[in-house]
Amino acid sequence: MADEEEKDLMIATLNKRVASLESELGSLQSDTQGVTEDVLTAISAAVAAYLGNDGSAEVVHFAPSPNWVREGRRALQNHSIR
């Protein structure tokens, strides 16, 4: 009986923690809506320089456009010799 009460208490505690983390995540996501690609690139470069990475960023995209899907399909269905 004590084990079941401990489990119920632990479940209630975990549910409270998950709820607080979800609300915190929601507020963090709403704060990052205005980050532009330039700012993201600058932050990425600063982190890479701090960590000692000499690599370079090729391209940063937030979301693929429908054209990307169309071009990928066209490249796959192209019957020319590559």
Q: Which pLDDT belongs to residue 55?
A: 67
**For 23-35, what is each residue's pLDDT tens digit?**
888 877 666 667 7
Query: Considering only CA atoms, which of 71, 44, 80 is closest in space to residue 60?
Result: 44
Tell the residue number behind the tokens 């990307």, with chain if given: 68
Q: Which pLDDT belongs to residue 14?
A: 93
Q: Is 82 helix (H, G, I), strand (E, B) or coil?
A: coil
Q: Which pLDDT belongs to residue 28?
A: 74
Task: Flag residues of the chain having pLDDT under 50.
Answer: none
Torsion of CA 41, 43, 45, 49, to 10 degrees: 180
Residue spans per domain, the chain? 2-77
Torsion of CA 48, 51, 53, 54, to 10 degrees: 80
Half-sphere exposure at residue 39, Cβ-oriented, CA atoms within 13 angstroms: 5
